[in-house]
Amino acid sequence: MAAQFEDEQMDTIECESAEAALATLLIGGRGVAMIFADVMNGIDLAREVKMRWPLLPVILTSGHSRERVGGLKH
């Protein structure tokens, strides 16, 4: 996905884990406009982001069907 965002002239920051993404946000994430993460590793990240930065959009994606992912709240 990062390559596709970059193809559209969007600056991206790739992180190898949810913990690394949170650390990146805490250190200097003022310029971050959106979080895009895999649902399997990003649920806790999304919750933390929504508590700290409630207006920052978070998109969680998965290769699994909605039934397998479970009921996530918006």
pTM here is 0.71
- The reported pLDDT for the residue numbered 51 is 93
Question: Residue 74's pLDDT band (boundaries 50, 70, 90)?
Answer: low
Backbone angles phi and psi of 13, in degrees to 5: -125, 115
Convert the pLDDT of each residue in 2-20 to its tens digit. Answer: 677 777 677 778 888 899 9
